[in-house]
Amino acid sequence: MTHAQLSPDSIRARFARAMSTMYRTEVPAYGTLTNLVEAVNAETLAADPAKKERLAATDELDRINEERHGAIRLGTAAELATMRRLFAVMGMVPVGYYDLSVAGVPVHSTAFRPVDPASLSANPFRVFTSLLRLDLIEDEALRAEATKVLDARQIFTPGCLALIEKAEQAGGLDEADAEAFVNEALETFRWHEEANVTAALYRRLHDAHRLVADVVAFKGPHINHLTPRTLDIDTVQDRMPEEGITPKAVVEGPPSRRVPILLRQTSFKALEEPVAFLEDGDSQGRHTARFGEIEQRGLALTPKGQALYDRLLSETRARVTPAADGSNASEYNAALAQVFAEFPDDLETLRTEGLGYFRYAPTGRAGDIDLGGSAADLVAAGVLRADPITYEDFLPVSAAGIFQSNLGDGAAKSYSANPNRERFEADLGAPVTDLHQLYAEAEAASLARARAELSRRAA
Ligand code: OOG
Ligand code: NI
């Protein structure tokens, strides 16, 4: 008899918990931050029963305090392709393509995450995964050296590779193998103090771009942050200094609103770490790799809503470009609030104007209604309720802001906008899933279920 297999959802939940435990030891400020976020979440829910009820209705209440996203940066196509297989064992697939070259960061990225609503509510753990683009580095000799170092490293343990293969062949892992897989996979994300290069090469990589040094100089893609989800980012931001944490001056994303949309994020520099380089003598160095971040998630926007968001954000940034040192933060925040006044800020308008995605369910109230009517009619008649679908993805401009604030001031270089999704997908070995399609499907499925239930009751 074969042993029962664990679901990918429960392997992912175990892995997320193991990562969190590891990161707490590696980066103590992360522990402080998660305690603060949990306290503020509890206060927010106590003060706002309607919010609590809505989160319960969309199956998010239980997941909030365990919800995390992390980020890694990879060096080669082969690493990216194997990472895809590793995440697949935990039910995480690549969603979205983010080109960050526009913002002066030589990477392009995707997010590995679960996609179906039940898996998301079980555990939504996601990892923002970037691939270094050495093609954007001008110095040819340096590019060749970096390639040589990257090609020689192996970021996965032999045990991890064997278990990925076993999971692919058997269609899953049993309890003992899942346990071993989580432990082996964790090794890839751990911080390694010993660098893969000499101090001299580190310096040259660093001068080309700090991000190049962060990827090439180390034995593996250390997890560089693990982000808890807060229900009130402004309050957490305000209270962070009391805990000895100094956040970046500007919160990325939309302004503070009655109805949160998309994603708001802020980060702080967590740690400067000692590094042992590959030679005697002047071999001790320091590297800032890891940081902290918090996020608040809101309504997922339709392409129409996203286009409005993109336009208003560009308008804001054309008025005030946030300075890296935070010196014009209040002007930026004022411009953001002013420009975004144009974005409707109540759920009903957001829904009826087709700006956001909603999940439909019967209210339980009977009505003398035409069951073939539109979703809007059924909601207006009081027989269906519409709850906002939460945005599960990332935002390229915000991600660039997070990268830059943690790479240090002056890290931005100018590259011309240079998206290359085809190349990314070839390196990944699979297409990335379109995120709007996922939300549209979730909305349509909820509506179909709700209609079926209404008809059953009417019969
Ligand atoms: C990733 C930065 C982007 C986010 O939440 O948008 C990010 C990185 O620094 O590797 O984490
Ligand atoms: Ni992040």
pLDDT one-digit tens code per residue, 270-321: 778 889 998 765 667 888 888 899 999 999 999 999 999 999 999 999 999 8
The number of CA neighbours under 13 Å toward the Cβ of 380 is: 10
**Statement: residue 326 has pLDDT above 70:** yes
**Spatial CB neighbours of 428, under 8 Å, sequence gap ≥ 6:** 77, 80, 81, 84, 94, 110
Number of residues that this document lists for the chain: 459
Q: What is the mean pLDDT of residues 319-338?
A: 92
Ligand 1 pocket mutation pick from 403, 404, 405, 435 by most atoms within 8 angstroms of CB = 403
- Cα–Cα distance, 405 to 73 (Å, whole number): 16
Q: Compute the distance between CA of residue 245 and CA of residue 206 in angstroms, rounded to an integer.
A: 26
| pTM of the shown model | 0.95
How far CA 246 is from CA of 33, 48, 82, 267, 293, in Å, comes to: 11, 28, 36, 9, 11
In angstroms and rounded to an integer, the radius of gyration of the C-alpha atoms of the chain is 23
Query: Is the Cβ atom of 98 under 6 angstroms away from ligand 1?
Result: no
Distance CA 435, CA 238 (A): 32
From ligand 2's centre to the CA of 290, what distance in Å?
11
CB 259 within 8 A of CB 300: no
Q: How far apart are the first and last CA of the chain?
A: 46
- Mean pLDDT computed over 340-348: 97
CA distance 60 to 67: 10
Structural domains of the chain sorted by starting position, each given as residue range(s) with its CATH number in brackets: 5-253+267-296+394-428 (3.10.180.80)
**Helix ranges restricted to H, 387-420:** 396-407
Instruction: Establish whether residue 210 lines the binding site of ligand 1, counting it when its CB lies within 6 angstroms of any ligand atom.
Output: no
What share of the chain has pLDDT > 70, as a percent?
96
Backbone angles phi, psi at 192, to 5 degrees: -115, 125
Ligand that lies nearest to the alpha carbon of residue 402, given by its number in the listed order: 1
Q: Please, are residues 347 and 379 in contact by the beta-carbon 8 Å criterion? A: no
- Give 79's contacts (C-beta < 8 A, 6+ positions apart): 131, 155, 221
pLDDT at position 225 over 80: yes
Using a CB cutoff of 5 Å, list residues around ligand 2, an ion.
227, 293
Which of 79-88, 311-320, 404-413, 444-453 has the lowest average pLDDT? 404-413
So what's the pLDDT on residue 1?
A: 42
**Residue 332 beta carbon below 6 angstroms from any ligand 1 atom:** no
Best mutation site among 67, 97, 100, 225 for ligand 1 pocket (most ligand atoms within 8 Å of CB): 225
Please give the full DSSP string across 258-293, using - where no structure is assigned.
SS-BSEEEEEEE---EEEE-SSSSS-EEEE---EEE
Q: What percent of the chain has pLDDT over 90?
A: 75
CA-CA distance, 436 to 48, in Å (whole number)?
Answer: 30
**HSE value, Cβ hemisphere, 13 Å, CA-based, for 217:** 30
CB-CB contact of 422 with 432 (8 Å):
no
Q: Is 120 in the pocket of ligand 1 (CB under 6 A)?
A: no
The residue-averaged pLDDT of 367-388 equals: 88
* pLDDT at res. 411: 53
pLDDT digit string (tens) for 126-151? Answer: 999 999 999 888 899 999 999 999 99
